[in-house]
Amino acid sequence: MLNLSTPMPIEERLKAISNYAVIFALVVIVAGFAIAAPSFLTGANLYNLILNNVVMLAIVAIAMTIVVSSGGIDLSVGVSVDMASMAFIMLLKAGVFVGTALFAGIGAALVVGLINAILITRLRISPFLATLGILFIGQSVQKIASGGGKPVYLANAKFAPTFNAIVKSEVLGIPTPMLILAAIAIAVYVLLHKSVFGRYIRALGAQPGVAWYSGIRVPFHTSLVYIIAAGLCGVTGILLSSTVKSYVPLSGDGYLLDAIGACFIGTTISAQRRPSVLGTLIGVLLLAVTRNGLLLVGWNFYWQQVGIGLLVFAVLALSFGLRGRGH
Partner 1 sequence: MTMTIAAETAAKPARARGALRRQGTLVLRLGALAMFALIMAWFAFTTRGFVSPANIFNVIEQTAVMGVLSFGMAVVLIGGGTDVQTGGIDLSIAANTGLCAAVYATLLAGGSGDLAAAAAAIGTGIAVGLLNAFAVVRLGILPLLATLAVMNIVAGLELTVTENQVIGANSTVTQLIATGRFLGLSVLAWIFILFSALMTWAIHYSRIGLRLYAVGGHPEAARAAGINVGAYVAGTYAFSGFCAGFAAILLVARLSASTTATGQLLLAILAAALLGTVFSRRFVPTAGGTILSTLFIGFLANGFQLSNVSYYWVNGVQGVLILMVVAVTTFAKPQGK
Residues that bind partner 1 (CB under 8 A): 68, 71-73, 119, 121, 123-130, 132-137, 139-141, 143-144, 148, 207-210, 212-213, 218, 257, 260-261, 264-265, 301-310, 312-313, 316-317, 320-321, 323-327
Nearest distance from C-beta of residue 33 to partner 1, angstroms: 19
Q: Is the CB of residue 188 less than 8 Å from the CB of residue 62?
A: yes
Residue 41 or 308 with smaller CB distance to partner 1:
308
Residue 245 or 274 with smaller CB distance to partner 1:
274
Nearest distance from C-beta of residue 139 to partner 1, angstroms: 5
Residue 70 or 246 with smaller CB distance to partner 1:
70
DSSP character string of 252-280: GGGHHHHHHHHHHHHGGGSTT----HHHH
Q: Is the CB of residue 177 less than 8 Å from the CB of residue 239?
A: yes
Q: How far is CA 155 from the centre of its chain?
A: 27
Backbone angles phi, psi at 90, to 5 degrees: -65, -35
Whole-number Å distance between alpha carbons of 83 and 135: 11
Nearest distance from C-beta of residue 69 to partner 1, angstroms: 10
Nearest distance from C-beta of residue 99 to partner 1, angstroms: 31
Backbone angles phi, psi at 152, to 5 degrees: -105, 110
Residue 135 or 154 with smaller CB distance to partner 1:
135
State how beta strands 152-153 and 174-175 pair: unpaired
Residue 99 or 124 with smaller CB distance to partner 1:
124
Distances in Å between the Cα of 304 and the Cα atoms of 55, 288, 291, 298, 313 are: 21, 12, 7, 9, 14
Nearest distance from C-beta of residue 85 to partner 1, angstroms: 18
Q: Is the CB of residue 222 less than 8 Å from the CB of residue 117?
A: yes
Nearest distance from C-beta of residue 50 to partner 1, angstroms: 22
Q: How far is CA 55 from the centre of its chain?
A: 9
Residue 173 or 326 with smaller CB distance to partner 1:
326
